[in-house]
Amino acid sequence: MNHQHIFKAQLNWTSKKEESASKFYSKTHQIKIEGKPVLNVSAAKAFKGDPELYNPEDLLLSSLVSCHMMSYLYVCSQNGIEVLEYSDSAEATLEVSADGSGRFVEVKLYPKVKISNSDQIELALELHQKANQLCFIANSCNFPVLHHASCEVA
């Protein structure tokens, strides 16, 4: 039986007076999610956004990294693996076409995991695939999410 969950976000943007004569609009806006701090967002610097703010590309990559980690911790707990540390330095490749459209073509995750039991290193590495199969965000993407995992004993 499938379960559905609804997530809601509210976006607010206002034109600045000086923009009416310009051919470029400010990309800075706010996203509000009930009960959470306001998220100030812009376009990436490459697309004339504010480089000090998060952009949609940052947020998509952050969602993938975070969701994979949570899925991974879940499958490790199911398999009796004690994870002591987890870090990742992920990369996303965005391809922009001549007409201005674009899409992510791949994401590479580089999770580094420290576990307590040296006998479980091989299983700990294999479980990244299972975590990817369970990851809500990865399952929603139309591009490959690749894993270059490492594991060591603390």
Measure Cα distances from 40 to 33, 43, 46, 79 in Å.
Answer: 12, 11, 18, 39
> Please, which residues have CB within 8 angstroms of residue 88's CB and are 6 or more apart in sequence?
65, 68, 69, 109, 110, 111, 112
* Res. 55: pLDDT tops 90: yes
Mean pLDDT calculated for residue range 64-86? 97
Contact assessment for residue 129 and residue 145, using Cβ atoms and an 8 Å cutoff: no
DSSP 32: E
* Res. 17: pLDDT tops 90: no
**Amino acid at position 41, single letter:** V
* Res. 15: pLDDT tops 90: no
The pLDDT, as a whole number, for residue 26 is 86
